[in-house]
């Protein structure tokens, strides 16, 4: 996600709170106060800042923090839903392809998975 994709006064969504792991996908509405060269600052008394992720293909910005788990800043509710679905699918694939389950798949199924993953 590029910082230039955000505009002042835009409604954005913040995801993540290390204190409540059960609510890891709950989103809180916020408003962009300022868009700078390095950071997007949201409105509020603390003026939290978010920067680009190292992998710019990610659909979010990462909170600049000195301790704790950084939160994620999304430009829309749709982006939050897509992120949640992607994370849930990643977990499903991890479990489905676990060492204790991999032997259950047929050769044809494994070939099909390989073809999909190789693109």
User: Is 48 within 8 Å of 36 (Cβ atoms)?
Assistant: no
Please report which helix (H) or strand (E) contains residue 7, including its range: none
Residue spans per domain, the chain: 3-118
Q: Which residues pair with 49 in a beta bridge?
A: 41
Token couple for 118:
């190789």
Mean pLDDT (the chain) is: 90
User: Is 96 within 8 Å of 105 (Cβ atoms)?
Assistant: no
Q: Is the pLDDT of residue 18 over 60?
A: no
pLDDT band at 24 (very low <50, low <70, confident <90, very high): confident
Express each pLDDT in 46-90 by its tens digit: 889 999 998 888 999 999 998 888 999 999 999 999 999 999 999
CA atoms within 13 A on the CB side of 44: 13
| Backbone dihedral angles phi then psi of residue 80, each to the nearest 5 degrees | -65, -45
């Amino acid at each position: 996600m590029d910082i230039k994709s955000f505009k002042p006064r835009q409604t954005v969504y913040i995801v993540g709170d290390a204190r409540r792991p059960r609510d890891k996908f709950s989103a809180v509405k916020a408003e962009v106060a300022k868009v700078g060269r390095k950071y997007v600052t949201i409105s509020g008394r603390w003026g939290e800042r978010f920067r680009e992720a190292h992998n710019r293909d990610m659909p979010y910005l990462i909170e600049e923090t000195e301790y704790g788990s950084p939160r994620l800043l999304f430009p829309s509710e749709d982006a939050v839903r897509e992120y949640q679905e992607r994370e849930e699918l990643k977990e499903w694939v991890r479990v489905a392809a676990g060492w204790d389950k991999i032997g259950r798949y047929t050769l044809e199924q494994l070939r099909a998975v390989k073809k999909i993953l190789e693109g």
